[in-house]
């Protein structure tokens, strides 16, 4: 029996995992995700190492880019693939092992219950996040909340589940980390139910390519650009 808020529509999620030089952790990420959904698409962003081979061996479908174009470009290519399929929701998960696949169950549950934009927040336990990351996220969240009118918490989190109907309306341009901000800003006017779900923070031996101070500054300014661009187009 469904809850009053649960959608009667079919629920067919797939995971999109942008990957760059993550040969070590990507196999475990893929195997973990496949415990919760039937399809994982890994977009290898010109790694030049064993990342695509390890992802394929773990059970993922792999899309290989011949050269590195940035996280945003990898996500855009992955969406072009998945949104052409019979997929109702896309789960965005990083390949470096900082997202625990076991947390996906809670994000999927929120989506199944009717939330069309779900963000996995690491800020429920801020003590586990390095101070520079926490500061950067706080600044970024203030910018995004002001621009979207949504109660943004950990807007830089790449751990998300978003309804395909929202994603199909977006015309994305970002090539790098600002893709997360761009998706939030452009989807916001059409979001019906926004949800935040606590997720664990994992900082392992794989070095993140995200630079908190520089990338938050850049993405905040690009958020202004995307907001202005949408206003001009309306």
The predicted model scores a pTM of 0.82
By the 10 Å C-beta count (0-12 exposed, 13-18 middle, 19+ buried), 199 is classed as buried
Residue 139 is assigned to a structural domain of this protein: yes
Domain count, the chain: 1
- pLDDT tens digits, residue range 56-115? 999 999 999 999 999 999 999 999 999 999 999 999 999 999 999 999 999 999 999 999
Question: What digits encode the pLDDT tens for the residues 100-158?
Answer: 999 999 999 999 999 999 999 988 766 655 555 555 666 667 778 888 899 999 888 89
Query: How far is the CA of 34 from the CAs of 56, 86, 97, 123, 182, in angstroms?
Result: 12, 17, 15, 26, 28
Residue 103 lies in a domain: yes
Is 77 among the domain residues? yes
Asked if residue 6 is part of any domain, the answer here is no
CB 81 within 8 A of CB 102: no
On whether residue 134 sits in a domain, the answer given is yes
Question: Would strands 117-121 and 194-198 be described as parallel, antiparallel, or unpaired?
Answer: parallel
The CATH number linked to 216 is 3.90.550.10
Helical residues (DSSP H) of 34-188, grouped into ranges: 51-58, 71-82, 104-112, 131-148, 164-167, 179-187
Q: Is residue 57 part of a domain?
A: yes
pLDDT at 217: 44
Higher-pLDDT residue of 129, 52 = 52
Q: Examine residue 72 and state whether it is found in any structural domain, yes or no.
A: yes
* Domain ranges, residue 79: 13-233
**Residue 7 resides in a domain:** no
**What is the spatial distance between Cα 223 and Cα 234, in angstroms, rounded to a whole number?**
17
For the chain, the 3-state helix, strand and coil shares in percent, each to the nearest 5, are 40, 15, 40
């Amino acid at each position: 029996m469904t809850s009053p808020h649960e959608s009667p529509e079919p629920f067919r999620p797939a995971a999109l995992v942008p990957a760059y030089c993550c040969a070590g952790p990507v196999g475990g990420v893929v195997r973990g995700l496949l415990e919760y959904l039937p399809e994982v698409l890994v977009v290898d962003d010109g790694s030049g190492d064993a990342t695509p081979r390890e992802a394929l061996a773990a059970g993922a479908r792999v899309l290989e880019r011949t050269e590195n174009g940035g996280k945003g470009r990898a996500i855009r290519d992955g969406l072009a693939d998945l949104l052409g399929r019979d997929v109702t929701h896309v789960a965005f998960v990083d390949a470096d092992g900082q997202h625990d696949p076991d947390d996906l169950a809670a994000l999927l549950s929120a989506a199944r219950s009717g939330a069309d934009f779900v963000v996995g927040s690491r800020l429920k336990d801020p003590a586990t996040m390095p101070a520079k990351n926490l500061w950067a996220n706080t600044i970024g969240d203030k910018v995004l909340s002001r621009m979207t009118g949504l109660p943004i918490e950990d807007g830089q989190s790449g751990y998300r589940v978003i309804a395909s109907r929202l994603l199909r309306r977006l015309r994305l341009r970002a090539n790098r980390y600002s893709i997360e901000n761009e998706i939030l800003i452009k989807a916001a006017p059409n979001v019906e139910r926004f949800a935040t779900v606590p997720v664990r923070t994992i900082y392992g031996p794989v070095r993140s390519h995200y630079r908190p101070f520089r990338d938050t500054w850049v993405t905040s300014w690009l958020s202004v650009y995307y907001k202005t661009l949408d206003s001009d187009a309306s």
